[in-house]
Structures are given as structure tokens and as C-alpha cells.
Amino acid sequence: MKYSCCLLLLILFGTSISAQNYPTKDFVPPMHIPLYLAGVFGECRPTHFHAGMDIKTNQVEGLPVYSIGDGYVSRIKVSAFGYGNALYITHTNGYTSVYGHLQSFRADIAAYVKQKQYEKETYEIDLELAPNIIICKKDEQVAKSGNTGGSSGPHLHFEIRDKEENALNPQLFGIKIIDNIAPSISGVAIYNEDMDRFATVPIILNTKLKGTYFAPIKDTILLNSDAIAFGVEAIDRMNNSAGNNGLYEIQVKIDGQELYHFTMNKFHFDETRNVLAYIDQKIKSVFSRYFQRCHVLPNQYFTPQKNNSINRGIYTIKDEAYHLVSIVVKDFQQNSSEAKFYVRKDYTTTVFKKLKYTNQTAFYAAKKYDYKTGEARIIIPESALFDTTYVSIQNNSTSFCSEIYTIGKPMDAFMVPIEIGLKVKNVAPAYYNKCILVEKSSGKTIVCGGRYEEGYIIGKTKNFGVFSIAIDTTAPRIIPLNISANKVMNAETSIRISMSDNLSGIKDYDGYIDGKWVLFENSGNVLKYKFDLPLSHSEHKLEIHVIDERMNENIYEVRFIY
């Protein structure tokens, strides 16, 4: 999690949810401290847009968290991943506020959760509650801030959602950030969008501030193309902040006419992987630069881009005249910066360099495939590809269980997972259920799961890469951290156990004392049971059962005194 300092004053305004206006008097801040942000709404994360704001808690846990308005607890989720301990409160005006990475819940909420965990005999739980179960009043404490789940530092993740499960920009509710610093523009990309668009690479132009606007070194860019689109590399900063923040608004004009308009007001959770199209993944992979496309790919639907974009942001150059390009970027406070330059069509230039696609298969956007070649199978849903993708499929070498295939490039990521299948070999049918598809292009082993079907082990993946089949017959490892045989545990407040798996990953675990299920919390695969059940001062038996994704099981047993 990256941190940026921005002083907030929470003031909320609007009228009704149905009219898409926002409350003015219904809500109060979720914390009674000066609010500084560690992450803004819509910020570009590697595989998703950030759905809320991250409120800094000065690197400490346990600060009070308050319900922003009257309502009821509609959902409680406890997980070792994601939002960790998360609370959802549905308010009388129809909005739902979300509080994530919590250290703990209010006493009555915690008691309800614990009761359900024991009833269901599971730590990880996702509960939906009726309106009359747990009531919350405006400005009533409901939790304490923490660092649970997929958090890299203490903070409160805070969201506001509407009835359709759209994530809304909290600044629409009047969260006033002290910010008079305009975004800065470090680069502009120009894409060839004519008939040769797949055979050329974009032009990347570094920009510098020239008086009141940003511009490339040359004020006129000659282009050997009949149609173009743009991208921009820009960041926003806030007062008292060293962090880089995402943009709220981007507007592209040609000769004063709007071509593209992006506003980060809301998006649905089903849309969040559009960040893989919004950030140019090829430029990111090759140059480690983050260019935001100012055009919409053919099979892309993302709410912040859908309004006021002409022809998906593609401009047809109909003559050889000079055309003025203006790219304006803004933050929510309307601090703005502009990049300006001219473009002119000139077929004598060769700025769009040619690429050669040899021995590659074209997969077209908005089509579904079940493609077989050699010992590989590629299954692509019609919603997976943002654009036409040229894929090289190479059988590099062999492993014990399969051939090793390089399929496309890891930068080719998808809106929804695709499936890759490889033919399995040297494995007896009784062990097919122990086989998994793995991807290793990044140097790390990414487990893609796997099922057996007609000679293939088929797994799901969110990107192309280097694939092979592995077999997992090794049970997870269980390591006691503070307990041993016949140890007197009266001086301990908990039992702590570490668990790990060599390949497929841990699927489930359970803990028992004297044959009765007990609640072991999971934090980073470290299990902790806080002594919460009455135990007589005598010998007791602890059992820990851990199962991995291929159903290999390990059981740890020990007797202790308490």
C-alpha cells in the first residue's frame, strides 16, 4: 500500500439516491481523527481499480471506527485475504458503507460473528443479515481499525456503494481534500488506429512544462496514419503528500472538439479488471511506464469511459492540415494541467514502426474459442479479450507430466479468466486429481488449478505465459509455534500454529480440542486459538487438520496441560 498525506474534512451533500445526487446531512466521518489518505478512489492497482479510499491511522491499530449514518449491519465478512475483517452497513437512504481491514468488531457484532463461526465450524465466513438483527446509529462506534486481510499497513479501507453494487467516489459525498496542486503530465502516447494498427507500435513522447502547458520537444508530430488515438502518462499529488495519485478526469480535444472524456465517479465491481485495458500493458511491461489509454478498446466496457467518447476516442485524419491536440487532466478539486501539440498526416514519415507477426494465431475480441494445437488447448470466453490478440504458441521443452508450452505473453491479460489445457502424460489415472496446471513466466509458480477432461488437465488463468502440468501428492506442513508435548499452557493466552503448502495451496483447516471444534483465526497462514472455552486443569488433546487444494491432508496431534 502506498501512502500519501492529504488532510480531509468530511462534509456530505446531495438529495436522493434515485436522482443520482448525494446526501448532505445524512452522514458523518467514519473516524474522529484528521483524515489523511493512503489511497484514493479509482486508483490503478495491478489488476483492479481501487474501490474506495484508504484512511491512514498513523501506523497504529485499534482506533475507533464509526457508522457514518443510521442503518443496519447487512453483511459481515471475515477472511485471511481481501478486506480481512469487513463490515457492511446499509443506511436508511439506500447507500451501503463498507469498512475493511478491521482489527475487531463492536462487542455485540463480534459475539454474533463468533456464534456463527462456531455454528458453521469455520473461521472464514460471509454473513448476510436481515435489517432487524444489528442496528447502527449515526456516529456510533462499530469497530476498531486494523491491518487484517490483504493489507500492507494499518489503515481503514472505506467505501460507499449504491443499490446496484456500484462503487462510488467518496468525494462525491463531499469529502473535501485540501489540494491545490495540479496533476503533472510526463508523457503522451499516439496510437496508430488505421488498417495497420496491429502492425505498428505507439509513439511515446516525453513532455515538459512550457509556460502554462505541457508539450513534447517538437510542437508538431508528423504521422503516417489515417486514424489515431491517444494515451497520457500523468499523476496527481496532494498538499502535504509525496505519493502519486490517480486522475479524476481526462479530456481529449482535437481542434477544440471533444474526442474522449473520462471521469472517475463510479464503476461496478464486475468492471474493475478494465484497469488491464486502461493502463497500456505492453508499454508498462517494456518501459515500466504507466500510460492511461484515452480511447476504448473494441471489447471494453468501463463506466468512467463510456460517456462523451466519440468513435471510442479514435480520430480520423481526413486531410494533411495541422490539427491541435489538447489533453486536459484534472483532480476532483478541478486543479488541471494541459498537454498541447499539433499532429499532421504525412505518409513520407515512418514514425509508426512496423512489426512482424510470424507463426502467430489471431484471437479476435468478442468471440469465443476452443482452440487445439499440438498438446495444448486454449478456451477463451467471448468476454475475455479486450482486443484482437496475436498469440505465439510454442512447445519449448518437456516435463515429467506434460510438454511445457509458452503461450502468448504474460502482458496479455484478460477481463475474465480463460482456460489452458495440456495433455497429461506419465501419470496413472488414479492420480489425475492430483495434477494441476502451473504458470511460471514470472519466475514464480502460479497455480491455475486443474480438472481432467479428455486427456487434458485444464486450469484457469488470467494471463498468458509459460504453462506445464505438475503433480501434488505432498501434504501441507504444520509447525507448532508455542505448544509442545505435555507443555503447561497456563501462561499462554493462545495456541499458535503455522501451516504451509509446497505447491497447490491450502484449501481448508480445522482445529479441535478434546474432539470439539475450536476457532483458530488465520493471519498469513499463522493460526491462533485464543482460549475462550472453559477447560479443566488437566491434560487435553489438540488436533490440527490441514488440507491442500489437491486434497492432501496432514494432521498434527499433541497433548498439553491447561
Tell me whether strands 323-330 and 213-216 are parallel, antiparallel or unpaired.
Answer: unpaired
Phi, psi dihedral angles at 330 (to 5 degrees) = -140, 155
Look at 39-48, 305-314, 379-388 and tell me which has the smallest mean pLDDT.
305-314
Gap between the Cα atoms of 444 and 284, Å rounded: 19
Tell me how many domains the chain contains: 4
At 426-484, the pLDDT tens digits run: 999 999 999 999 999 888 899 999 999 999 999 999 999 999 999 999 999 999 999 99
Question: Is 1 part of a structural domain of the chain?
Answer: no
| DSSP character at residue 132 | T
- Return the bridge partners of 87, or none: 76, 99
**Same domain (yes/no): 149, 223:** no
Out of 12-16, 20-24, 201-205, give the one with best mean pLDDT.
Answer: 201-205
The confidence score (pLDDT) of residue 20 equals 64
Residue identified by cell 463498507 is 98
The confidence score (pLDDT) of residue 246 equals 87
C-alpha cell recorded at residue 110? 463480534
Gap between the Cα atoms of 538 and 282, Å rounded: 64
Question: Of 177, 207, 224, which residue is a domain's last?
Answer: 177
- Please compute the mean of the pLDDT values over residues 294-311 and round it to a whole number: 88
Question: Is 327 part of a structural domain of the chain?
Answer: yes
Gap between the Cα atoms of 79 and 100, Å rounded: 11
Question: Is 237 part of a structural domain of the chain?
Answer: yes
Gap between the Cα atoms of 362 and 357, Å rounded: 10
Question: Is 2 part of a structural domain of the chain?
Answer: no
**Same domain (yes/no): 147, 122:** yes
At 518-554, the pLDDT tens digits run: 999 999 999 999 998 787 789 999 999 999 999 999 9
**Same domain (yes/no): 270, 393:** no
Q: What is the mean pLDDT of the chain?
A: 92
**Same domain (yes/no): 197, 319:** yes
**Same domain (yes/no): 384, 520:** no
The confidence score (pLDDT) of residue 23 equals 79
Question: Is 45 part of a structural domain of the chain?
Answer: yes
The sign one gets for the Cα dihedral 29, 33, 35, 37 is negative
The confidence score (pLDDT) of residue 421 equals 98
The confidence score (pLDDT) of residue 11 equals 30
**Same domain (yes/no): 334, 194:** yes
Question: Is 355 part of a structural domain of the chain?
Answer: no
C-alpha cell recorded at residue 407? 503461450
Rounded to the nearest angstrom, the gap between the alpha carbon of residue 266 and the centroid of all alpha carbons in its chain is 16
The percent of residues above 70 in pLDDT, for the chain, comes to 95
**Same domain (yes/no): 462, 484:** no
The confidence score (pLDDT) of residue 534 equals 80
The confidence score (pLDDT) of residue 1 equals 40
3-state class of 172 per DSSP? helix
Gap between the Cα atoms of 67 and 136, Å rounded: 7
The percent of residues above 90 in pLDDT, for the chain, comes to 83
Per DSSP, the residues of 464-479 read -EEEEEEE--PPPEEE
Measuring CA to CA, which residue among 512, 508, 470, 477 is closest to residue 495? 512
Question: Of 345, 371, 398, which residue is a domain's last?
Answer: 345
Measuring CA to CA, which residue among 227, 230, 233, 259 is closest to residue 247? 233
The answer, yes or no, to whether residue 243 has pLDDT greater than 80, is: no
C-alpha cell recorded at residue 379? 478456451
Strand segments, DSSP code E, in 236-368 are 249-254, 257-263, 266-268, 292-293, 315-316, 323-330, 336-345, 360-363
Domain enclosing residue 218, as ranges? 184-345
Question: Is 352 part of a structural domain of the chain?
Answer: no
Confidence band of 18 (pLDDT split at 50, 70, 90)? very low
* Run of H or E residues at 101: strand 96-105
The whole model's pTM is what?
A: 0.89
The answer, yes or no, to whether residue 3 has pLDDT greater than 80, is: no
Question: Is 3 part of a structural domain of the chain?
Answer: no
**Same domain (yes/no): 220, 307:** yes
At 91-122, the pLDDT tens digits run: 999 999 999 999 999 999 999 999 999 999 99
Higher pLDDT: 442 or 556? It is 556
Q: What is the CATH number of the domain that holds 37?
A: 2.70.70.10
The answer, yes or no, to whether residue 9 has pLDDT greater than 60, is: no
Q: What is the CATH number of the domain that holds 548?
A: 2.60.40.10
Question: Of 471, 492, 526, which residue is a domain's last?
Answer: 471
The confidence score (pLDDT) of residue 171 equals 85
Look at 26-35, 127-136, 367-376 and tell me which has the smallest mean pLDDT.
26-35
The confidence score (pLDDT) of residue 203 equals 96
The answer, yes or no, to whether residue 129 has pLDDT greater than 80, is: yes
**Same domain (yes/no): 242, 189:** yes
**Same domain (yes/no): 23, 82:** yes
Give the count of alpha carbons within 13 A of 493, CB side only: 0
**Same domain (yes/no): 31, 171:** yes
**Same domain (yes/no): 27, 142:** yes
